């Protein structure tokens, strides 16, 4: 394990990030269990979050650790047939913990290129097996049955990928500075700063829900895409209230407002405005064309095989499960950094996601049945992969039920 020891300044900021994770991300309630996943490199933050959780009244904190070297060992030495195996017993246990009221916290900061040199077919098989085994637990997350959140950790491998020209210690320090800014940990009162930010996002999403657009149209260089929206959709962003009644922030950081597209109503063509880091491969210059909600053409300048395997994961992988709006002036965009991590890069630009839709993005999301979810346009899939299509050159119009258009964004900024 190659770990950079935190400085005293970083240690203080890490403690503040841990506090944000528990008080803002999860808004943990006394008596709740916490189920956490993290890389072994994130142990300093894991310990601080554990402290914060118990101070907030957690009944138990359980952490599942991963290790990059163990992951690589499998690809180097395991028999090919083993890649159709996943620890279903573990994911079944997670699902049972969620059903009993546990909160879910994931610490992210993986090496973006960890599996870049491995056989894409084996990577795809391993991820498919994992996705299938994880489905019972994932459904409790995508349906917002529980309060859950993602928070970042600046691993050395992630920092090296972002800043290859810098010595490792400097790269890690620079990444931490960017993380602390994006998560509002560098503010005098991070929790208050998050309350203010959530209020802004709430105002924006309420306005979009009230407009009840039938579709959004994205136009710009090499892009003319009309995304039909699900019937009775609602916009989300920032805080959300889970079915267990707890209101938290699923993503730390976040700058987006998002909703559910209709699985059958996307038409046109679009190009990615940022690379997508997926399964250890950097997919560049994604270009796709949709007909009746389905990708019928897809290409990329690098990572073509990985892209094709991704959209071939299952029937729903070629359809949209999310559309999100992010202004080009967002703090993450203005940093000028490509984070190679979807948690950050999706908050730098408007984006779409292939695969699973969120049932909470309906006006009656707390009571919608699986049948109604599908009838009203919700998409189902083993994957949910966000990639960026927004920039300062993209205009977005809202299309009403009669076909009339009104500006939503101009040159990547809110029209009003």
Cα 229 to Cα 224: distance, rounded to the nearest angstrom: 16
3-state secondary structure of 275: coil
**pLDDT higher than 90, residue 366:** no
Cα 20 to Cα 143: distance, rounded to the nearest angstrom: 23
Mean per-residue pLDDT of the chain: 94
For 153-293, list the strands marked E by DSSP.
215-220, 223-229, 240-241, 247-248, 257-259, 261-271, 276-278, 281-283, 287-291
Beginning with the edge strand found earlier in the chain, give each strand of the sheet holding 413-414 in spatial order. Answer: 294-299, 287-291, 261-271, 223-229, 215-220, 395-399, 405-410, 413-414
Residues of the chain with pLDDT > 70, as a percent, come to: 98
pLDDT digits (tens, 9 = 90+) for 221-275: 999 999 999 999 999 999 999 999 999 999 999 999 999 999 999 999 999 999 9
What pTM was computed for the model?
0.89
User: Which of 26-35, 144-153, 356-365, 386-395 comes out lowest in average pLDDT?
Assistant: 356-365
**Pairing of the two strands 223-229 and 215-220:** antiparallel
pLDDT digits (tens, 9 = 90+) for 326-345: 999 999 999 999 999 988 99
pLDDT at 5: 56
8 Å CB contact between 389 and 352: yes
**pLDDT higher than 70, residue 3:** no
Beta bridge partners of 224: 219, 269
Distance of CA 387 to the CA centre of its chain: 10
User: Which of 280-284, 317-321, 398-402 comes out lowest in average pLDDT?
Assistant: 280-284
Domains located in the chain, CATH noted:
8-182 (3.40.1830.10), 190-414 (no CATH)
| Helices and strands (H and E) in the chain: how many | 12, 20
Max intra-chain CA distance, the chain: 59
CB atoms near residue 304 (< 10 Å): 16
Confidence label for 6 from pLDDT (cuts 50, 70 and 90): low
pLDDT digits (tens, 9 = 90+) for 36-84: 999 999 999 999 999 999 999 999 999 999 999 999 999 999 999 999 9
């Amino acid at each position: 394990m190659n770990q950079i020891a935190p400085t005293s300044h970083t240690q203080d900021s890490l403690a503040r990030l841990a506090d944000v994770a528990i008080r803002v991300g999860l808004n943990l309630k006394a008596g709740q269990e916490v189920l956490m996943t993290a890389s072994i490199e994130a142990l300093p933050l894991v310990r601080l979050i554990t402290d914060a959780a118990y101070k907030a009244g957690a009944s138990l904190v359980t952490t599942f650790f991963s290790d990059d070297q163990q992951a690589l060992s499998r690809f180097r030495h395991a028999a090919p047939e083993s890649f159709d195996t996943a620890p279903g017993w573990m994911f079944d246990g997670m699902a049972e913990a969620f059903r009993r009221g546990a909160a879910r916290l994931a610490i992210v900061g993986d090496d973006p290129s960890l599996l870049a040199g491995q056989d894409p077919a084996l990577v795809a098989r391993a991820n498919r097996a994992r996705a299938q085994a994880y489905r019972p637990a994932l459904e409790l997350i995508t349906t917002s049955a529980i309060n859950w959140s993602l928070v970042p950790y600046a691993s050395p491998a992630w920092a090296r990928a972002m800043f290859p020209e810098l010595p490792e210690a400097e790269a890690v320090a620079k990444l931490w500075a960017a993380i602390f800014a994006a998560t509002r940990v560098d503010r005098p009162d991070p929790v208050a700063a998050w309350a203010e930010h959530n209020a802004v996002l709430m105002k924006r999403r309420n306005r979009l829900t009230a407009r009840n657009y039938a579709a959004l149209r994205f136009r710009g260089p090499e892009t003319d895409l009309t995304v039909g929206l699900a019937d009775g959709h609602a916009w989300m962003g920032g805080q959300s209230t889970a079915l267990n009644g707890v209101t938290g922030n699923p993503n730390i950081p976040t700058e987006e407002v998002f909703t559910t597209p209709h699985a059958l109503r996307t038409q046109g063509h679009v190009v990615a405005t940022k690379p997508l880091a997926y399964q250890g491969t950097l997919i560049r210059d994604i270009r796709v064309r949709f007909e009746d909600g389905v990708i019928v053409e897809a290409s990329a300048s690098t990572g073509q095989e990985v892209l094709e395997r991704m959209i071939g994961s299952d029937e729903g992988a070629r359809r949209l499960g999310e559309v999100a709006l992010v202004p080009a002036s967002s703090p993450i965009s203005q940093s000028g950094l490509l984070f190679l991590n979807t948690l950050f890069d999706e908050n730098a630009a408007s984006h779409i996601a292939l695969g699973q839709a969120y049932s909470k993005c309906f006006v009656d999301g707390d009571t919608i049945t699986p049948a109604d979810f599908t009838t009203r346009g919700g998409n189902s899939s083993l994957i949910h992969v966000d990639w960026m299509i927004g920039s300062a050159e993209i205009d977005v119009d809202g299309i009403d039920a009669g076909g009339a258009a009104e500006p939503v964004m101009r040159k990547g900024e809110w029209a009003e």
